[in-house]
Amino acid sequence: MFSAQCPSRSILDRITSRWGVLVLAALRGRVLRFSELRRTVEGVSEKMLAQTLQTLEREGFVRRTAYPVVPPRVEYALTPLGEEAAGLVVGFVQWAEQKAPEVLRARADYDARHR
């Protein structure tokens, strides 16, 4: 079907990465500045936010717009492709949230049987 190192695998990795998911979700349908993203995506370090945004921009999911003013003003938004990806990710998350009780039960079960 597809192996561990092929284009689509790397695309998945970006999208489903720890911060990639959160950034995509945060940018759905709106435009945010760097510091706004930093506040919205709780727990992200500056380094990882910058890195994540760069990667997402490179993959064509995020559009970065820098205004030549001082102090600097940079805005981030999703491209159409990015909106699509974000939609998929959010769908996935909602599925996971819906199934969370079932998974937690399975875990408790497993732990009880394998103690």
Partner DNA sequence: CGGAATCCCTGGGGATACTG
Partner DNA sequence: CAGTATCCCCAGGGATTCCG
Site for DNA contains 77 (CB under 7 A):
no
Rounded Cα–Cα distance for residues 107 and 100 (Å)? 10
Q: Binding partner of residue 88 among its own copies, DNA, none, CB under 5 to 8 Å per kind?
A: its own copies
Task: Please identify which residue in 44, 56, 62, 85 interacts with DNA, judged by CB under 7 A.
Answer: 44
Task: Please identify which residue in 39, 95, 112, 115 interacts with its own copies, judged by CB under 8 A.
Answer: 95
Site for DNA contains 8 (CB under 7 A):
no
Residue 30: partners with Cβ closer than 8 Å, 6 or more residues away: 77
What six digits make up the tokens of 87? 């939609």
Phi and psi angles of residue 6, each rounded to the nearest 5 degrees, phi first: -150, 165
What six digits make up the tokens of 107? 């875990």
Task: Please identify which residue in 33, 39, 58, 73 interacts with its own copies, judged by CB under 8 A.
Answer: 58
